[in-house]
A and B are shown apart, each in its own frame.
Chain A
Amino acid sequence: MQGAVDPLVFQLSIFVLAVFVGYYVVWSVTPALHTPLMSVTNAISSVIIVGALIAAAPAAMTQSKILGLVATALVAVNIFGGFAVTQRMLVMFRKRKP
């Protein structure tokens, strides 16, 4: 074997392992909570905001910066809306009163 491992291979390893983690974690989700599962996965996939913020960061107004700011605002809708609506649903799931 020669040379150093490309960072891409490390990322691919993380990705593949995370798919397996996702597989086992999601099968353990109770079917009654499948709707909150969708809304919360939607909220966390909005972590794509990190990419939008990098584009929005430079001081100069460029095409990238405008794209970044628009994307930031769009996924902010998802982040706040997604977590809030998930919480609203989860609060409604109550046990029978004894």
Chain B
Amino acid sequence: MPANLAALLYLTSAVLFILALRGLSNPESARLGNVFGIIGMAVAILTTVLGARTAAYGEMALAIAAGGAAGLVIAFRIKMAAMPQLVAAFHSLVGLAAVLVAAAAFYHPAAYGIVDALGQIRTPSRVEMSLGVVIGAVTFTGSIVAFTRLQGIISGDPVVFRGQHALNVVIGAIIVLLLGTFVHTPSTDVFWVVTLLALVLGVTLVAPIGGADMPVVISMLNSYSGWAAAGIGFTLENSALIVTGALVGSSGAILSYIMCRAMNRSFLSVILGGFGGEAAAQAVRAADRAVTAGSAEDAAFILKNASSVIIVPGYGMAVAQAQHAVRDMAEALKRRGVHVAYAIHPVAGRMPGHMNVLLAEANVPYDEVFALEQIDSEFQATDVAYVIGANDITNPAARDDPSSPIYGMPILDVDRAKTVLFVKRSLAPGYAGIDNGLFYKPNTMMLFGDAKKMTEEIVKAL
């Protein structure tokens, strides 16, 4: 295939990828967008394979078929609640692939057309290759740590030890120094030592970040996987890869920014980690304050007599798999003429948009589901706020108490509703480790129990 034709086809596939992302501005156009993405990928793969002039079609097809079959099985079996860990696992694969491709290019640079007249790898290619391998390796192990934490294989608590940040800085500095020598004289030893150090750095960077900060971590790794792909794209002089890497890199960066803004924390403070580890003690002294507890029947009575209800889901709903029960409750209320809406905080759940997917899975129409800024002003005209599995994102201290560690974080103003029904197992504090004053307000009724069971009992009582 002529090089110009191949370059034009790669350009086509890059444009199709842009259209795939553009489609996501609206749920209706998103399905078509995904099809554009699939076509773009097919164009890129066919262009490469047909341009390769090779006898190895069988082996390539076998590798694609084996991986593809595994991918399809995973995609159709995975539970929606497990989506964060699936995305983390997928990011790790992109990172590992970037490392492997960089290594392949290092061992056999002639195949990639990146050698100079003396048969040495060209200097710009050395830089691009080493950036690709470092970012890829960090993405790989960082995503594995994120995956094991989300899957519950390791605890959600941050792993913090003395000298942690110093260690990261030292590893980072050694990597930079070694990259300098690699660009000067590309040696196999230096290549693998750098790769190894970057793999370690991925672990030490993500380990101190706790469970509820995972939305930021996943977005950040998403971004890294894009930058790694772009680095490899420069090595291959491939526009599809460069454009895609840039798109994915900026997408992940924007999501990280949105998540940080929704927690009123700086990106740096999140990735330095260790948040929420020690403050749980102060909640104990507050525990003897009076709360109003109610039963499912009490809650059903209040809901029945309301004219408007806003449901506020959080990670607890995902853990309890309560989304179907919540929808049943909403349908029962709608049949009685109650107006029902859902309010989603940007960091509810373990990844951006996690709650929206779970509600969609339970057949909740997306036009009943609203983002924080769309619905927040409506709480004061609402009879009942039904909080299920959320905590910190409803804590009025973030709005009213300048001494609170979460002060300034945008919250859903559920306390402005006439009545708050708060489904929770106990009065234990949320991730931030701080007490929620909402529990003790006279207009709050605590519904102690499992999110799913409690909601099902309310449905029965309605």
Using a CB–CB cutoff of 8 Å, the interface residues on chain A facing chain B are 7-8, 11, 14-16, 18-19, 21-23, 25-59, 62-65, 67-97
Contacts and interface: CB of A to CB of B under 8 A. Distances in A.
Given A57-B56, A72-B64, A94-B363, A46 B31 contact: no
A98 to B, nearest CB: 11
Interface of B: 10, 13-14, 17-18, 20-22, 24-28, 30-31, 33-34, 37-38, 40-41, 44-45, 47-49, 52-56, 59-60, 63-72, 74-76, 78, 80, 83, 86-87, 90-91, 93-94, 96-98, 100-101, 103-105, 107-108, 111-112, 124, 218-219, 222, 225-226, 228-230, 232-252, 254-255, 258, 344, 346, 351-354, 356-357, 360-361, 363, 365-369, 371
Contacts of A8: 124, 234
Contact of A48 (B26, B229, B357): B229
Given A29-B24, A45-B244, A19 B250 contact: yes
Contacts of B14: 18
Contacts of A51: 101, 104-105, 112, 232, 235-236, 238, 241
B192 to A, nearest CB: 12
Contact of B68 (A21, A79, A91, A97): A79
Contacts of A18: 14, 242-243, 245-247
Contact of B94 (A42, A50, A68): A42
A29 B353 CA distance: 11
Contacts of A97: 365
Given A37-B352, A41-B247, A52-B101, 13 more contacts: A29-B25, A31-B346, A42-B222, A49-B45, A50-B238, A51-B101, A67-B101, A72-B67, A74-B100, A94-B360, A94-B363, A94-B365, A95-B27
A38 B255 contact: yes
For chain A, what secondary structure do more than half of its interface residues adopt (helix, strand, loop), or is it mixed?
A: helix
Given A54-B112, A55-B108, A58-B56, A35 B64 contact: no
B356 A32 contact: yes
A27 to B, nearest CB: 6
Contacts, number: 377
A31 to B, nearest CB: 5
A77 to B, nearest CB: 4
Given A18-B242, A36-B353, A46 B94 contact: yes
A91 B91 CA distance: 23
B75 A56 contact: no
28 contacts: A8-B234, A11-B234, A15-B233, A15-B234, A15-B245, A22-B247, A30-B26, A31-B344, A31-B353, A31-B356, A32-B353, A32-B369, A39-B83, A40-B24, A47-B13, A48-B94, A48-B233, A54-B112, A55-B105, A57-B54, A63-B107, A67-B100, A71-B104, A73-B64, A81-B86, A86-B37, A89-B80, A95-B365
